[in-house]
Structure 1
């Protein structure tokens, strides 16, 4: 299960926004930086939401906006014919920092730092194995149980549900259980990508 396989469909859906961004004079790198800033605000909203669950709704909207902007920068680069390895590097670095901020905000908001650590390492290893395959001569790997698009959608959905039902279930809120999911599935997905790459290398 991964939504990353529908990137081409998402790109077509975003076409009107790509055209609008192009007309407004925005650059792909500028969109990448904006996406990162949005992730930072989402992290702040999630931190505050630990004491005031209504902020989870704000965080959910910001996370989904971050995901949309993450798609927009690449599509805009292709439209403007300025796609480059430097822009790709900037995009990936900012995406990883955005992932760290969002998960840190979720974990700090509920005071679950150990689970947050395991979740963020799972997410980072998933992303690392996806791009490391490309570094050794293979295509970039997007497969596995959870990709970045899946994580952002899950964060948005769980944040909304937690705003509506902030009580703990078996000792953890829904956000806490989401972090557990990211911790377990993130490392499993990283291993899936590792074995896929090793198999392709023969």
Structure 2
């Protein structure tokens, strides 16, 4: 929702932040791959050290790096359909790695599966609609899109880590927050599915 409604304001900020990457000659696909590697390394480190605080901070850095691929593509005039597809696939693998790491460390496999399903279905609802009818990519301002999901999970992990550091840890903090994430992700998937049905029904009604 934030990315869709504030795209014109956010994009110039990303493009400015991408200047160092452009300066060293990185391509958009290299930035995408780099973001995926950073997320994977962060997840592997979390499985080893099991620090929610460190994991949340590392993910925030990795996700920020990953968000710069589109800015690099625009600045270097290297936007391609193949690059967009690669970015979308890398995003799904990033989410899978994060939820697998949390599921492993916190033994929250059931919630992790439901949370991952919500993100996948949110993405697939739009992609499947595009197979049936032409759609505008930015006309889907749903509540809990990817940017909101990334911010939520990073804040949740950092908050959990700070609570542990201050001696106020609760086994229900991460569980409850992750369950809320799963609920919001699936609610957004249903919101997007409902919009897709309405669009497809209108398209069907126009047929002779």
User: TM-score interval w.r.t. the shorter chain?
Assistant: 0.7 to 0.9
SS of equivalent to 2:68: helix
Give distance in 2, aligned partners of 1:40 and 1:173. 26
Specify the alignment match of 1:191 in structure 2: 190
Q: 1:177 to 1:46 in 2, by over 3 A?
A: farther
1:39 paired to 2:46:
no
Q: Decide which structure has the larger Cα Rg and report it.
A: 2
Moved over 6 A (4+): none
Aligned-partner Cα distance in 2 for 1:178–1:45: 21
Instruction: Return the match for 1:81 from 72, 77, 82.
Output: 77
1:101 aligns to 2:101 (yes or no): no
1:123 — aligned with what?
Answer: 119
Please give the alpha-carbon distance, in whole angstroms, between the structure 2 residues aligned to 1:7 and 1:46.
32
SS class of match (1:14): helix
Aligned-partner Cα distance in 2 for 1:128–1:48: 32
User: TM-score, normalization: structure 1?
Assistant: 0.87
CA distance in 1, matches of 2:127, 2:7: 17
Match of 2:142 among 141, 144, 157: 144
Query: Distance in 1 between the 2:46 and 2:152 partners?
Result: 14
Taking a change above 3 Å as real, the CA distance of residues 135 and 63 of structure 1, as seen in their structure-2 partners, is farther
CA distance in 1, matches of 2:55, 2:7: 23
Structure 2: how far apart are the matches of 1:68 and 1:7?
A: 16
- Show CA shifts across 1:56-115 (max 9, x none): 222122222233223210111111111111001100000000011111111211111111
- Residue-pair matches, total: 194
TM-score w.r.t. the length of structure 2 is: 0.85
Unaligned runs of 5+ in 1: none
Partner of 2:158: 160
